Amino acid sequence: DGGITQSPKYLFRKEGQNVTLSCEQNLNHDAMYWYRQDPGQGLRLIYYSQIVNDFQKGDIAEGYSVSREKKESFPLTVTSAQKNPTAFYLCASSIWTGSLSGANVLTFGAGSRLTVL
Amino acid sequence: GENVEQHPSTLSVQEGDSAVIKCTYSDSASNYFPWYKQELGKGPQLIIDIRSNVGEKKDQRIAVTLNKTAKHFSLHITETQPEDSAVYFCAASNPPNNDMRFGAGTRLTVKP
């Protein structure tokens, strides 16, 4: 079955530690995204990547970093610079349809819940 | 940039009744409007979407309407069932970057 896998499902971190969330997809999608979900605020875009070795900041990139060395993988590192990292993190992927069509159907993973102790 | 507002934040209906969730967007260039359903502890799943060249789309008990002039779109669920209970998100996407902007979500509860 094709899909998008996030790990770990639950993660606990002490203040001052960096943590990395994994996201792997076997859908052959070009684009991958990271969203943060907080209660009552919907989904906010952290970073996205249209192609390998390229990525762009979203609305709330501060305190986060990403890499896109392989098409299938888009790991997110939550650094100690992120002041309020406790949240539910969602990874998504899509076919990159190009700027003219403006339509990108997202497939989401099951999410990773990060708690800072 | 695009801003999407969604109402209501919570909605409770009796089984068999209809449910309507409304969203407005700010960027007239947005041209793709999906709706996602998120069940507890899971990622959102696409349930229906509409593009800006269409005013209405229906899929069984679910329909979406789009008013480009007023910049709002709505999700309609008829004959609701308890398994429809979830959080629903609307979103808007626009060129050139195609990044998606989401509403804050509506928690729908269908009472048996």
pLDDT tens, chain B, 112 aa long = 788 999 999 999 999 999 999 999 999 888 889 999 999 888 999 999 998 888 999 999 999 999 999 999 999 999 999 999 999 999 998 766 667 889 999 999 999 9
Token pair recorded at residue A57: 């900041």
pLDDT at B18: 98
CA distance B82 to B39: 12
| Angle, CA of A73, B1 and A77, to the nearest 5° | 25
E strand segments, chain B: 4-7, 10-14, 19-25, 32-38, 45-51, 56-59, 62-67, 72-77, 86-93, 100-102, 106-111
Residue A90 to residues A32, A38, A44, A98, A113, Cα–Cα distance (Å): 11, 11, 10, 23, 9
pLDDT band at A104 (very low <50, low <70, confident <90, very high): confident
Checking if the pLDDT of A92 tops 80, the result is yes
Chain A residues inside the 8 Å CB shell of B104: 40-42
pLDDT at A16: 87
- Cβ(B14)–Cβ(B28) below 8 Å: no
**Between residues A94 and B74, which one has the greater pLDDT?**
B74
CA distance B80 to B102: 24
Checking if the pLDDT of A98 tops 70, the result is no
Residue among B43, B95, B101 whose CB faces A110 most closely = B43
Give the residues across from B54 on adjacent strands: none
- A76-99 per-residue burial string, b: 16 or more CB within 10 A, e: under 16: bebeeebeebebbbbbbbbeebee
- Cβ(A23)–Cβ(A76) below 8 Å: yes
Checking if the pLDDT of A101 tops 80, the result is no
**Residue A113, min C-alpha distance to chain B (Å):** 9
CA distance B61 to B29: 29
pLDDT digits (tens, 9 = 90+) for A44-60: 999 999 889 999 999 89
Nearest CA in chain B to A96: B98
Across all residues in chain A, what is the average pLDDT? 90
pLDDT at A100: 46
Chain A with chain B: Cβ pairs closer than 8 A: 75
Chain B residues inside the 8 Å CB shell of A100: 95
Q: B112 and chain A: CB distance < 8 Å anywhere?
A: no
